[in-house]
Amino acid sequence: MWVRNAWYVAGWSHELEAGRILARVIIEQPLALYRKTDGQVVVLADRCCHRFAPLSMGRLEHDDLRCMYHGLKFAPDGRCVEIPGQKLIPQSALVRRYPAIERGGWMWIWMGDEALADPASIPESIRLDDPAYCMKSGQLDYAAHYLLIDDNLLDLSHLSFAHEKTLGLDMPQWADERPRILPLERGLRVERWLRGQPSRGFMKRWGETLDLWNSYDFLFPGIFLLRTAFYPVGTAERCKGAAPSEQPLFLRHDDQAVTPITSRTSRYFYAAGARRDDIDEDRVGRLFAVVQAAFNEDKMIIEAQQKLIDMDPGRRMLPTTLDAGPTQFRKLVQTLLEHDGQPGPVANATARAG
Ligand code: FES
Ligand SMILES: [Fe+2]
């Protein structure tokens, strides 16, 4: 049902304050997160091995976590180090520990076999604390399966309709153009030109319309690394539809992550911005307000879609050419499920650096 051998975004680093215990659920596994006194993140199963009280309701004692039901105390590696009134601590007195890594404000947790947790396989997103960038971050909870959110991100044709008043305003090309889709080891690369799109706000200084190169890597479980580059009209023609090599007028970064919580709940993390040389705080704020309005539009339609799916789960959907990205990605997810988080031999043969 779930791919365990994968990195999942558990939250933003700033959510986990020193001295606080954060309760999270990822792929139906309850987790208790806290920081050691040196700041390092600890993630333990949020279920005391004694009588299953949540450790997130416990108390931090230096680097250890004490269950506040009957007082068992656990070290950061998950071993029980104290049982009140009992000298002998059995070896089975432990809770599971999960590898966790922070990368520029993103908090990642490995949900599978600890021996397979390779930090090098964490996708590269823009660091929220990178002084060269001005990024804003947010999150949204969904009452929907994570793959419905992935489907949405893998098919941006919906911008012309679901976001007709926000991100897709006066942009019917989103629905009319089919992107190029390339396989990656644990996802897909999706790219396209949108020609002669209306320029907005501060971009109007470059003309009423601009060509737009939209390219993203979409990686399991729902890591969306989008780059949108704006060019003078005519650039797409000159590039003959291929990726541009010249410098854009403006490059926008959108890094996002979908994290499955349960089969009907998910959390969507998003960050948006650009290089400080290209944008100021105020403009990022305005850009971010549009993004947030658009994400609420997604949430409304996806949650409503989930309800209808659940009313008649056996009903088949009608495939169209719009679905190429979601269909290919779901095949990859199936392969990961069947191979315990490892991409199959076919995906490996076509792998590109992600
Ligand atoms: S349930 Fe945790 S100490 Fe009893
Ligand atoms: Fe959307």
Domains of the chain and CATH, by start: 7-121 (2.102.10.10), 133-349 (3.90.380.10)
What is the spatial distance between Cα 100 and Cα 8, in angstroms, rounded to a whole number? 9
Can you list the positions of beta strands (E) in 133-249?
133-142, 180-184, 187-198, 209-219, 223-232
Peptide bond into 90 cis (omega under 30): no
Residues whose CB falls within 8 Å of the CB of residue 318, separated by 6 or more in sequence, listed in order = none
Residue 53 alpha carbon to ligand 1 centre in Å: 6
What is the spatial distance between Cα 42 and Cα 111, in angstroms, rounded to a whole number? 13
For the CA of 70, the closest atom of ligand 1 is: 3
What is the spatial distance between Cα 70 and Cα 93, in angstroms, rounded to a whole number? 14
Q: What does the buried/exposed string (b/e) look like for 195-212 if buried means 16 or more CB atoms within 10 Å of the residue's CB?
A: bbbebeeebeeeeeebbb
Q: What is the pLDDT along the chain (354 residues), one digit of tens a residue?
A: 899 999 999 999 999 999 999 999 999 999 999 999 999 999 999 999 999 999 999 999 999 999 999 999 999 999 999 999 999 999 999 999 999 999 999 999 999 999 999 999 999 998 999 999 999 999 999 999 999 999 999 999 999 999 999 998 889 999 998 999 999 999 999 999 999 999 988 899 999 999 999 999 999 999 999 999 999 999 999 999 899 999 999 999 999 999 999 999 999 999 999 999 999 999 999 999 999 999 999 999 999 999 999 999 999 999 999 999 999 999 999 999 999 888 865 444 333 333
User: Is 51 close to ligand 1, i.e. is its CB under 6 Å away?
Assistant: yes
User: Is 144 close to ligand 1, i.e. is its CB under 6 Å away?
Assistant: no
